[in-house]
Protein backbone atom coordinates (compact mmCIF):
# COMPACT_ATOMS: atom_id res chain seq x y z
CA UNK A 1 0.00 0.00 0.00
CA UNK A 2 2.85 2.39 0.79
CA UNK A 3 4.35 2.01 -2.69
CA UNK A 4 0.94 2.82 -4.15
CA UNK A 5 0.83 5.97 -1.99
CA UNK A 6 4.29 6.88 -3.26
CA UNK A 7 3.14 6.35 -6.87
CA UNK A 8 0.13 8.59 -6.26
CA UNK A 9 2.42 11.18 -4.64
CA UNK A 10 4.71 11.19 -7.69
CA UNK A 11 1.73 11.59 -9.99
CA UNK A 12 0.38 14.44 -7.85
CA UNK A 13 3.77 16.17 -7.95
CA UNK A 14 3.98 15.68 -11.71
CA UNK A 15 0.52 17.09 -12.40
CA UNK A 16 0.11 19.72 -9.66
CA UNK A 17 2.83 22.38 -9.66
CA UNK A 18 1.30 24.26 -6.74
CA UNK A 19 1.39 21.14 -4.56
CA UNK A 20 5.02 20.53 -5.54
CA UNK A 21 5.94 24.15 -4.79
CA UNK A 22 4.21 23.99 -1.41
CA UNK A 23 6.79 21.43 -0.25
CA UNK A 24 9.47 24.14 -0.34
CA UNK A 25 7.67 26.16 2.35
CA UNK A 26 8.62 23.96 5.30
CA UNK A 27 11.57 24.58 7.62
CA UNK A 28 12.22 20.90 8.32
CA UNK A 29 11.82 17.52 6.72
CA UNK A 30 9.52 16.54 9.60
CA UNK A 31 7.11 19.36 8.78
CA UNK A 32 7.21 18.49 5.09
CA UNK A 33 6.62 14.77 5.70
CA UNK A 34 3.76 15.59 8.09
CA UNK A 35 2.15 17.73 5.38
CA UNK A 36 2.60 14.93 2.83
CA UNK A 37 0.96 12.47 5.23
CA UNK A 38 -1.87 14.91 5.97
CA UNK A 39 -2.36 15.12 2.20
CA UNK A 40 -3.03 11.38 2.14
CA UNK A 41 0.36 9.95 1.19
CA UNK A 42 2.18 7.64 3.61
CA UNK A 43 5.43 6.12 2.35
CA UNK A 44 9.11 5.69 3.19
CA UNK A 45 12.13 6.70 1.14
CA UNK A 46 12.48 3.04 0.14
CA UNK A 47 8.84 2.95 -1.02
CA UNK A 48 9.43 6.08 -3.07
CA UNK A 49 12.43 4.47 -4.78
CA UNK A 50 10.30 1.44 -5.67
CA UNK A 51 7.54 3.74 -6.90
CA UNK A 52 9.96 5.63 -9.16
CA UNK A 53 11.12 2.34 -10.68
CA UNK A 54 7.54 1.15 -11.12
CA UNK A 55 6.42 4.39 -12.74
CA UNK A 56 9.43 4.37 -15.07
CA UNK A 57 8.50 0.86 -16.23
CA UNK A 58 4.91 1.95 -16.89
CA UNK A 59 5.92 5.18 -18.62
CA UNK A 60 4.70 5.83 -22.13
CA UNK A 61 8.16 6.78 -23.41
CA UNK A 62 11.67 7.75 -22.29
CA UNK A 63 10.62 11.34 -21.69
CA UNK A 64 7.93 10.35 -19.20
CA UNK A 65 10.29 7.84 -17.56
CA UNK A 66 12.83 10.63 -17.18
CA UNK A 67 10.21 12.83 -15.53
CA UNK A 68 9.65 10.20 -12.83
CA UNK A 69 13.39 9.79 -12.35
CA UNK A 70 13.69 13.56 -11.93
CA UNK A 71 10.82 13.67 -9.43
CA UNK A 72 12.47 10.95 -7.36
CA UNK A 73 15.78 12.81 -7.38
CA UNK A 74 14.01 16.08 -6.58
CA UNK A 75 12.27 14.59 -3.54
CA UNK A 76 15.49 12.99 -2.33
CA UNK A 77 17.31 16.32 -2.66
CA UNK A 78 14.51 18.21 -0.94
CA UNK A 79 14.31 15.77 1.97
CA UNK A 80 18.07 15.52 2.42
CA UNK A 81 18.49 19.28 2.31
CA UNK A 82 16.19 19.66 5.28
CA UNK A 83 17.52 16.84 7.48
CA UNK A 84 18.45 18.02 10.95
CA UNK A 85 16.94 21.45 10.57
CA UNK A 86 15.48 21.69 14.03
CA UNK A 87 13.08 18.77 14.38
CA UNK A 88 14.04 16.36 17.15
CA UNK A 89 12.77 13.40 15.12
CA UNK A 90 14.90 14.51 12.15
CA UNK A 91 18.08 14.17 14.16
CA UNK A 92 17.43 10.43 14.18
CA UNK A 93 16.15 10.46 10.60
CA UNK A 94 12.95 8.77 11.76
CA UNK A 95 10.49 11.25 10.26
CA UNK A 96 11.39 10.57 6.65
CA UNK A 97 12.28 6.88 6.66
Of residues 10, 1, 97, the one with CA closest to residue 57: 10
Using the predicted structure, report yes or no on whether residue 97 has a pLDDT greater than 70. no
Instruction: Give a yes or no: residue 92 inside a domain.
Output: no
Instruction: Give a yes or no: residue 60 inside a domain.
Output: yes
CA distance 92 to 74: 22
Q: Which residues of 35-54 are buried (b: 16+ CB within 10 A; e: fewer)?
A: ebeeeebebeeebbbebbeb
Instruction: Give a yes or no: residue 90 inside a domain.
Output: no
pTM: 0.80
Residues 1-60: tens digit of each pLDDT: 899 999 999 999 999 999 999 999 998 888 999 999 999 999 988 999 999 999 999 999
Residues 61-80: tens digit of each pLDDT: 999 999 999 999 999 988 87
Predicted pLDDT at 28 = 87
Q: How many domains does the chain have?
A: 1
| CA–CA distances in Å: residue 2 to residues 24, 45, 66, 81, 91 | 23, 10, 22, 23, 23
Q: Domain range holding 38?
A: 2-83
Instruction: Give a yes or no: residue 95 inside a domain.
Output: no
Amino acid sequence: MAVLDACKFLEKCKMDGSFRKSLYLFDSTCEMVSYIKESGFNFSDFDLGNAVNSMKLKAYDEIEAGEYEELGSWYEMLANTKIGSGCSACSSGSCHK
